[in-house]
Amino acid sequence: MSGKTDPRRPAEVVQYANFMAPVDPDALDPHASVLVVASLVGLVGLYLKLPVASWITLFLSLSYFSTARRDTMDLKQFVVVLMFGVMGVLSNIFFPRRPGADTVLASIFGARPSS
């Protein structure tokens, strides 16, 4: 080595700072939480065959569609949630309930099955 320069360049070292990027309030979609709740309710309605939950999912997804801005809309999640609601409603209408399904729901929710 002919020179005594430090190859790590200590003059260009940047000290760590706890920096959080500024949040643009226009970039956030306040209606996105509606889709998360609708997807959870839709899964409950689809798997437990609860018609009320499926109708609530359809209502929440359509209310999101009517109130969200089109440029920030999460179209994929909207379609998935809408399909959860539609399939939940259709499965409640066209597919019969299993015998003993009321006892399973009663054991989950702690109610006694009607005899």
Tell me: pLDDT of 67 over 80: yes
Q: Which amino acid is at 95?
A: F
pLDDT tens digit sequence for 22-53: 666 666 667 788 899 999 999 998 888 888 99
63 within 8 A of 39, measured Cβ to Cβ: no
Per the CB < 8 A criterion, the answer to whether 61 and 38 are in contact is yes
What amino acid is encoded at 75 in this protein?
A: L
CA 82 from centroid of its chain's CA atoms: 12
From CA 81, how far away is CA 64, in angstroms rounded?
10
Spatial CA neighbour of 35 closest among 90, 72, 89, 87: 72
pLDDT tens digits, 69-104 = 888 788 898 999 999 999 999 988 888 766 666 666
**Banded pLDDT at 107 (limits 50, 70, 90):** low
Per the document, the length of the chain is: 115
